[in-house]
Structure 1
Amino acid sequence: MVNVQVTVLSGAGISAESGVPTFRDVETGLWAKVDPYEISSTEGWQRHPEKVWAWYLWRHYMMKAVAPNDGHRAVAAWQDYAEVHVVTQNVDDLHERAGSQRVHHLHGSLFEFRCARCDAAYDGDLPAMPEPVETVNPPRCACGGMIRPNVVWFGEALPSEAWDRSVEAVANADVAIVVGTSAVVYPAAGLPEMALANGVPVIEVNPEATALSASATLSLRETAATALPTLLQRLPALLG
């Protein structure tokens, strides 16, 4: 597989196998009855930043308590045999912690923070959060603005650099592997379609059928942790 580029498009399913609740799961009683829009939108941030900050700060610390699974580790191991790019909708750092070197975060990262006013990166101290709480006041930037998580909220544009690199990774791929995503959230869902339009084989790995299943070159009804450790070796036979 030398001189082959593999582009992996990953979603919540691969992280769920590490014990990370998917966005739509009920994650704690404190937020069980809260509309996700209220804690993941610019409007929600403007109305009650202390509640939004508490939600994301808790998720930041929760992610530190989980580890990459066999799916993440397999993708990182592929780098010994191919040029691998990971385009992810996930805001965790499990791909990086597994060892993947080229990771493009379409929806931002829970491990990056910036000022909501001047957009400056923030690397100051974060308050400890051993247990979830309902409200926490966000830190302040030197300009006086509130510090927010560097994630993409409803109604916000994707980060242009990550998007451009993702499009390039798909355009240059010899094979695209779509893992653990429902393939309904655009514009990310358009990347597998772009690959197919360019004649790039698209392998879907998902235990459930998705919007992509009918058009994918091949759909494997397996979990990421089960399928990915042997997938690279199986590709020649799978693709005929």
Structure 2
Amino acid sequence: MTKIVVLTGAGISAESGIKTFRDADGLWEGHDVMEVASPQGWDNDPENVLEFYNQRRKQLLTVEPNPAHYALAQLEEEYDVQIITQNVDDLHERAGSSNVLHLHGELLKVRSTFDEDLIMDWRNDLKLGDFCEHNHQLRPHIVWFGEAVPMFPIACDITREADIVLIIGTSLQVYPAAALIDFAREDAGIYFIDPAPSLYHRPDVTIISEKAAVGVPSLVQQLLTGKKNTE
């Protein structure tokens, strides 16, 4: 079965009402990013960090997947689809996508500060004093600035196997995620969907200058129709 790998970023979730990672002024919801998304910020003021993610978690539970998320799930009717996302929301899963790899963690999960492999689902507020089974504080299951991205090698291997690569809602400017496109095979078909595409110009990239909620369903229908016509 033809394998499609989808690389998604903040742009696809923004159309569901989730604010992008940081605004033009370098702030995230009014916070300096390093205060709420770095080990140093956590060490300096863990209560502030917990409250920040508590608010993000609450917001996530009020929004819904948009047509782009649902269209990607529909692709599984005819293709082997793997989504690799920089987003920490669960909108891909809620839309029905079966295979989603989160490069930067998940907002609806927390992990132990003692054992990073001890991860649990979490939908309520997380507070100081919420401990794991080893009696250590729980923290958001988010990859912060300065931390390793443990899923990146797996994402590279997945991208190498792709027959088709879709890039949606990401400028491919944040590393290491930005390097994933370099692992695509030379003969892979690459589509870049963005209303203001800034991807470095490669002759093998088909650019679709649309918002995700418009461009993704359109491309998905083309791919599904093309697949059925070749059978």
- State TM-score, norm by structure 2: 0.88
Q: Is it true that 1:74 corresponds to 2:71 in the alignment? A: yes
**Residue of structure 2 equivalent to 1:121:** 119
Residue 171 of structure 1 contacts residue 198 of structure 1 at CA under 8 Å; is this kept in 2?
Answer: no
Find runs of 4+ consecutive structure 1 residues off by over 4 angstroms.
Answer: none
Quote how far apart the aligned CAs of 1:35 are: 1.3
TM-align CA RMSD: 2.2
**Residue of structure 1 equivalent to 2:214:** 226
- State TM-score, norm by structure 1: 0.85
**Residue of structure 2 equivalent to 1:46:** 43
Match among 137, 141, 156 for residue 146 of structure 1: 137
**Residue of structure 2 equivalent to 1:173:** 162
Equivalent-residue separation in structure 2 for 1:225 and 1:125 (angstroms): 27
Q: Which residue identity is paired with 2:175?
A: Y
Residue 170 of structure 1 contacts residue 194 of structure 1 at CA under 8 Å; is this kept in 2?
Answer: yes
Of stretches 162-171 and 178-187 in structure 1, the one that deviates more from structure 2 is 162-171
Residue 19 of structure 1 contacts residue 66 of structure 1 at CA under 8 Å; is this kept in 2?
Answer: yes
Quote how far apart the aligned CAs of 1:178 are: 0.2
Quote how far apart the aligned CAs of 1:191 are: 1.0
Three-state SS of the structure 1 residue aligned to 2:177 is coil
Q: 1:6 to 1:31 in 2, by over 3 A?
A: closer
Quote how far apart the aligned CAs of 1:213 are: 4.3
Q: 1:203 to 1:31 in 2, by over 3 A?
A: closer
Q: Which consecutive residues of structure 2, in runs of 5 or more, have no partner in the other structure?
A: 227-231
Q: Which residue identity is paired with 1:65?
A: T
Equivalent-residue separation in structure 2 for 1:178 and 1:37 (angstroms): 27
Deviations 1:118-151 (CA, angstroms, capped at 9, x unpaired): 33224578339xxxxxxx5352223332110111
Pairs within 5 Å for 1:1-240:
3-25=1-23, 32=30, 34-119=31-116, 120-123=118-121, 126-127=124-125, 137=128, 139-159=130-150, 162-195=151-184, 198-210=186-198, 212-215=199-202, 217-235=205-223
Q: Which residue identity is paired with 2:13?
A: S
Three-state SS of the structure 2 residue aligned to 1:189 is helix
Q: 1:125 to 1:232 in 2, by over 3 A?
A: closer
- Number of positions where the alignment pairs a residue of Structure 1 with one of Structure 2: 220
Quote how far apart the aligned CAs of 1:117 are: 2.0
Percent identity between the aligned chains? Answer: 38
Q: Which consecutive residues of structure 1, in runs of 5 or more, have no partner in the other structure?
A: 129-135
